[in-house]
Amino acid sequence: MALIVKKFGGSSVATTEKIMNVAKRILSEKQPNDQIVVVVSAMGDTTDNLIELAQGINKDPYQYTREMDMLLTTGEQVSIALLAMAFQTLGQKAVSLTGCLAGMKTNDVHTKGRIQDIQPKRVHEELDKGNIVVVAGFQGVDEKGDPVTLGRGGSDTSAVALAGALKADTCEIFTDVDGVYTADPRVAKGARKMKEITYNEMLEMARLGAGVMQPRSVEMGEYFHIPIHVRSTFTTEPGTIIREDYTMEDKDFVIRGVAHDKDVAKVAVLGIPNTPGIAFEIFSALADAHVDVDMIVQSIRNVETNITDMVFTVSLTDLPTTKEVVDKVADKLKAVAVLVEKDVAKVSIVGAGMLGNPGTAARMFGALSRAGINIDIISTSEISVSCLVRREQMEEAVNAIHDEFFPKKG
Ligand code: ASP
Ligand code: MG
């Protein structure tokens, strides 16, 4: 007997027909004694549409985060009810559970919640009664019982965390792509599907923009030691397994993949005093507003006047909040100006192999320079190098770098 958690994303349940197909597929693959938990996202573009609806009331609805959560959690509630009905229509006992009913406890940071504890007592009870349990992804409840969502793409995190809490045998993430690629195949023509990738590398790829998995979900997988199988809803081909270490593929690659991120904005605070506490002033204000800051560069602008500039990137979604917070701090610091640039993108290489290969970053810069692409900001981690480039050159940059590290065969 196996306990299996399967997650189906929005595109897999976009229509009632697709929901029926998901139910049929699960039943056709189910062994008689398997216990199955299915985590689902909202149908198709539902979440986007709900956000748009809210924007009809206020153009920046994310200032009302609790109400956004009240609104957004309805999306997943629709799909769990319909999928449970689909199972019942096919003669299979099934029950739908909201995040709350499934025991997902989160902190109270609305729209960016984090799972703090899972008490899946009800899930176990329903499984023991012979039900397939359909759980709403992307949502949990805080201490007060208020709904909290886990950030865009949060259903992945719900699924992996639930698999961990249930001590599931496997966790399968069904999506509209058939695995993890060395770059986004829609952007890099030569991108190849990987059989395996480590948690660390996948986490870095996800953080740097590979949209396949929400970064938190990969962290959860590592924490619970649950291998995550990312695969296609529409075929039965095996996909990519995210796990601790490689088991089958050659490990002689220098980098594992190329990631890109268009959801970036650059903010520059110009002409601020170069004195202790300035970075703290700016970034603690942003942290208090729950804004994640990514690349940070501080430059000495003028040695004589001891004035400097602080340049950093945030996600486009966080830009309105960032601007508001930074304008206030800039006033206080008597900064000369706050500049915002939206037409930028981040291109990154990822791979644990680059730790012992100092030439890797140089190869990336070489590929960009040969393509005539200017680098605006560079940042590095132990297993990645990222470059900020102009948005309109992003595709070219991804291809140039990918061709450098994954030359076309034949
Ligand atoms: N429905 C949510 C979103 O679109 C959660 C998810 O799909 O994972 O972000
Ligand atoms: Mg999604």
Tens digits of residue pLDDT in 251-273: 667 899 999 999 999 999 999 99
Q: Confidence class of residue 348 from pLDDT cuts 50, 70 and 90?
A: very high
Q: Work out the average pLDDT over 62-85.
A: 97
Spacing, Cα 46 to ligand 1 middle (Å): 9
Least confident range from 97-101, 248-252, 292-296, 302-306: namely 248-252
How many Å lie between the centroid of ligand 2 and the Cα of residue 137? 10
d(CA 226, CA 109): 26
Res. 301: pLDDT tops 80: no
Q: What is the DSSP letter of 63?
A: G
Residue 153 beta carbon below 6 angstroms from any ligand 1 atom: yes
Three-class SS state of 296: strand
pLDDT at 302 exceeding the cut of 80 = no
Looking at residue 67, its pLDDT comes to 98
- Please compute the mean of the pLDDT values over residues 316-335 and round it to a whole number: 95
| Residue 304, pLDDT above cutoff 90 | no
Q: How does strand 170-175 pair with strand 147-149?
A: unpaired
pLDDT digits (tens, 9 = 90+) for 1-36: 899 999 999 999 999 999 999 999 999 999 999 999
Tokens for 150, please give them.
Answer: 């886990």
Considering every ligand atom shown, identify the ligand nearest to the alpha carbon of residue 157 and give its number: 1
Round to whole Å and give the CA distance between 181 and 68.
33
| Position 382 pLDDT exceeds 60 | yes
Tell me: pLDDT of 310 over 70.
yes
pLDDT at 252 (0 to 100): 67
Q: What's the confidence (pLDDT) of residue 393?
A: 98
With a cut of 60, say whether residue 73 has pLDDT above it: yes
46: CA distance to ligand 2 center in Å?
Answer: 10
Torsional class of 256: left (φ above 0), alpha (ψ -120 to 50), beta (otherwise) = alpha
pLDDT of residue 250: 61
Q: Taking residues 167-181, report their average pLDDT.
A: 94
Could you list which residues have their CB under 5 Å from ion ligand 2? 9-10, 41, 153
Lowest mean pLDDT among 40-54, 173-187, 190-204, 347-361: 347-361
The overall average pLDDT reported for the chain is: 94
